[in-house]
Structure 1
Amino acid sequence: MINNNFFDYLLKSLAHYKKELIFPKNSYIYHYTSIDGLMGIIQNKAIYSTDARFLNDISEQNYAKNLILEECNLFLERVEKSNQFFWESVLKGLNKQDIPIIYITSFTSESDLLSMWRGYGSNTSSVALEFGKTFLGLITNSYSSLVNVIYLESEQRSFIQWNIESIIKYYVINKEATDQNIESTVKTAIQYISMLFPVLKHPAFKEEKEIRLIIPEVNVKKHEIKVEFKSNKDSICQFIKTNLSNPDIVFPIEGIIIGPTSDFENLKKSILEFTSKNNVDIYDKRIISSTIPFRY
């Protein structure tokens, strides 16, 4: 079990780190996906968040973990002796392979990016779904965070250091209570630090301007969100759904950008027919083509 008061305190402190970290609710974001992905979102009236351990590139996770461990070890060298056991226990937990599960969904502020089309459309057509403030109001809630990914290493280190200080601050202020259940306190710190992994990405990917919806495992359990499974290349991964259906609002896809293709008009027509059959209204003028030419 984790310390819910401790975890809630850390989540609230995260929102106050820098206003640039939390993505504003009055902006547009884009979700690149395959045609199969588009059909799944429309049919299920939901968007999926996948176990971060099954990201496309394992080196991405290693980059974030190594950076966090480095800063945590540096902090251990200067932590007060009375807090040393607690921090050593946190480090020991972080070094284990079975860190807590984090569910993520990837978005970007870029609507027509060549590297993204290459990533999602190497063997098939792909689209970028445009979402606005209605969607952002649906997915940002008490159990999730929508954050801008940090790419610059100096900013990443400052972010990690700030969060370490937040953890220690709470631990010191509530030391008598936290020490009485040190195992729960350590687990809470590890759960929170694992949430930082998806916020950090190698500087080489900066052009993607990625925004991530992050949902920690502890909140999935707390809110009794159903965990499902799907195939993922040579494995099976967990995912959860965020419901996009609400009788009081229009379905929140506000536009669709079709990636480079040799047959835009037919694909557009088929998308309009499919969305209409599934009671999702997308205006004809809101389905547009990428400006990037199709390469045969």
Structure 2
Amino acid sequence: MGEDEAITALQELAFPYEMRRFQEVFEKGLRMAHYTTAENAALILKTKTLWLRNAQLMNDFSEVAYGTACLIAALQMGVGAQLETALNGAHPGLWNSIAEFINKVEWQSRTQTYLTSLSAHDPEDFLGRLSMWRAYGGPTSGVALIFKTEVFENDAGQLNTYSSPVAYGDETVLFSNLKEVADGLTG
């Protein structure tokens, strides 16, 4: 097995939800839409840059804390023990090493994460999801910039960035996603 095949196999085991969503985007020919003001869109096009925002400055920064709370709850629902057994079975002490690493970088992850919001967009949908814009845009003119997905498929290691779909839900949704990972590791 080559390096690329090994990386893909690991991604399929560790991130099955993400891999399915990326496959869906590819198969359906979806694009990515960034909803913003007309003024900001003009700046993006003029400077050829898309700025990211610190996660702590999001209009609903509690989403990050909510995600952490859902993770803790999902792990306590039993999937944590299954993951611990699977990981320690593959390499003794791996579970604790991962937990220590996560605890070590938790503050950095919380304070040094920058993001932008993109929505999957069907090219056949000429109206788009401007209803999303109306929820945030207020009285200003809203627009959607549509990006080809290839921009997000390239290796972004130079910038230390990556693209990841958001899984909306509560601790039961996260439990199901983590259970899938644990089952894949033990199956």
Say whether the fold is shared (TM-score over 0.5): yes
**Alignment match, 1:104:** 115
**Alignment match, 1:159:** 177
Asked if the contact 2:33/2:145 (under 8 Å) is kept, the reply is yes
**Which amino acid counterpart does residue 91 of structure 1 have in structure 2?**
A
Q: Which one has a larger percent helix, Structure 1 or Structure 2?
A: 2
**Alignment match, 2:150:** 137
Instruction: Determine which structure has more spread, i.e. the larger CA radius of gyration.
Output: 1
Mapping of residues 41-120 of structure 1, within 5 Å: 41-73=44-76, 74-78=78-82, 79-80=84-85, 83=88, 85-95=93-103, 97-100=106-109, 101-109=112-120, 111-119=128-136
Which one scores higher on RCO, CA 8 angstroms, separation ≥ 6?
A: 2
**Alignment match, 1:31:** 34
Aligned length: 159
Asked if the contact 1:76/1:87 (under 8 Å) is kept, the reply is no
Query: CA 1:139 to 1:39, structure 2 compared with 1: closer, same or farther past 3 Å?
Result: same
User: Bigger shift: 25-34 or 91-100?
Assistant: 91-100
Mapping of residues 162-241 of structure 1, within 5 Å: 162-163=180-181
Question: RMSD between aligned alpha carbons?
Answer: 3.7
5+ unaligned residues in a row in structure 1: which ranges?
170-296
**Alignment match, 1:124:** 140
Instruction: Give the CA deviation at 1:61.
Output: 0.6
Q: Which one has a larger percent strand, Structure 1 or Structure 2?
A: 1
Q: For residue 149 of structure 2, give the secondary structure of its aligned residue in structure 1.
A: helix
Q: For residue 32 of structure 1, give the secondary structure of its aligned residue in structure 2.
A: strand
Distance 1:17 1:37 in 2: 35
% identity of equivalent residues: 22
